[in-house]
């Protein structure tokens, strides 16, 4: 191919002289992706702000819920240990007694210490019911038994009662809410 000083020839050498003078057209300037008017720029800024604000709120909520995830993880460990059936009665009683302690620690994360720490018995069950209670007439006494009964008595809880206690504790941990 022959070339000229002002551009590249489009035809091979040996073609007619008129074709030899053809040159490639210059490409137009690239189209900018930047907003062309102030309105589009405003919309882009508002959308970016909304995305950042939503991301910040989601991260903040995720961090605030860390105590809930930790409590659920601990409860899952208790449940797995009880489900394995390998725990001796003393260890079984200790794991069941850990459930009310776990609920108390979790509740101390959501409510002022002076409102929660001293609660026991029926007042404690009333607090749990008020904040998302599913501790009914059957599982409420099981929670009290696991909290205050001697280990020998706690170890005699049936597997169904233990499963109900764990199920209600998980439900409370997942869904509790304190009115502000």
Q: What number is the average pLDDT over the span 164-179?
A: 89
Cβ atoms of residues 178 and 111 within 8 Å: yes
From the number of C-beta atoms within 10 Å of its C-beta (0-12, 13-18, 19+), residue 105 rates as middle
Q: 59-115 pLDDT, tens per residue?
A: 999 999 999 999 999 999 999 988 887 778 888 899 999 999 999 999 999 888 988
Q: What is the per-residue pLDDT for 45?
A: 94
Predicted TM-score (pTM) of this structure: 0.72
pLDDT classification of 12: cutoffs 50, 70, 90: low
Distance CA 179, CA 130 (A): 9
CA atoms of 93 and 155, how far apart (whole Å): 4
pLDDT in tens, 126-161: 888 888 867 777 888 888 889 888 988 888 888 899
Residue 23 tokens read as 């040159």
Q: Which residues of 66-96 are buried (b: 16+ CB within 10 A; e: fewer)?
A: eebeebbebbeebbebbeeeebeeeebbbbb
**Looking at the DSSP assignment, which residues form a beta bridge with residue 8?**
3
Q: Which of 151, 71, 53 is nearest to 109 (CA)?
A: 71
Segment (H or E) for 81: helix 66-84
Residues 164-173 as b/e (b if ≥16 CB within 10 A, e otherwise) read bbbebbbebb
């Amino acid at each position: 191919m022959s070339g000229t000083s002002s551009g590249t020839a489009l035809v091979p050498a040996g073609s007619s002289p008129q074709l030899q003078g053809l040159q490639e057209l210059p490409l137009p300037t690239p189209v900018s992706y930047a907003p062309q008017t102030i309105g589009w720029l405003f919309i882009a800024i508002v959308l970016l702000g909304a995305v950042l604000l939503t991301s910040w709120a989601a991260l903040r909520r995720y961090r605030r819920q860390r105590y809930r995830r930790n409590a659920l993880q601990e409860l899952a460990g208790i449940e797995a240990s009880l489900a394995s059936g390998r725990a001796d009665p003393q260890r079984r009683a200790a794991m069941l007694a850990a459930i009310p302690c776990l609920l108390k620690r979790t509740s101390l994360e959501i409510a002022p210490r002076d409102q929660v720490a001293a609660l026991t018995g029926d007042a404690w069950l009333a607090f749990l019911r008020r904040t998302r209670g599913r501790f009914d007439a059957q599982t409420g006494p099981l929670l009290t038994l696991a909290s205050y009964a001697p280990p020998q008595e706690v170890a005699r809880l049936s597997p169904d009662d233990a499963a109900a206690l764990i199920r209600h504790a998980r439900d409370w941990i997942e869904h509790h809410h304190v009115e502000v």
